[in-house]
Amino acid sequence: MNDKIVQLLKAISESSKTYEGWTLLVIGGTILTILSSDYIKPTHNRARIIYLLFIPGWISFSISLFKADYISRAAIGATMSTDLAGLFKDIDKAYGDQLSYFKGGLLFIVLWLILFVVIWIFEKDKTR
């Protein structure tokens, strides 16, 4: 039984690392979006307010990364634990939290993308 729990913990840890990598990619992509000048940006200040959606997204992604770190550390310590069932419950909850915060962060980024496309479509082009 203990071997199966340890295998499950390793599987959760590996999956958590995948989400951790995706989280870092999305954070990096959003930072590059702000710093890049190779795409059309909204010209009105009111339209630029959509960039504030990145902040709650980054906060949510940061919490997701914190949960991923906890999962990694707990999975490493699983070999020394005497209460594997309790540790499994903790890691399972942290994994669920990680996924929830990751999805929450994605929600803000997708909302930004939708608003950006709407603004891009309806904003008048001042270069013509």
- Cα distances (Å, whole numbers) of residue 107 to 66, 67, 88, 102, 114: 19, 18, 28, 9, 11
Task: Show pLDDT as tens, one digit a residue, over the chain (128 residues).
Answer: 577 887 888 889 899 999 999 999 999 999 988 888 666 677 777 778 888 999 999 999 999 999 999 999 888 887 787 788 888 899 999 999 999 999 999 999 999 999 988 888 887 665 54
Tell me, what's the pLDDT at 123? 77
Q: Is residue 92 part of a domain?
A: yes
| Count of domains for the chain | 1
Which DSSP string corresponds to 104-121? Answer: HHHHHHHHHHHHHHHHHH
Token pair for residue 11?
């599987």
Give the separation between CA 110 and CA 124, rounded to whole angstroms.
Answer: 23
**Structural domain for 13, as ranges:** 2-119
126 lies in some domain: no
In a domain, 128, yes or no: no
Closest by Cα among 68, 63, 52 to 19: 68
pLDDT of residue 103: 96
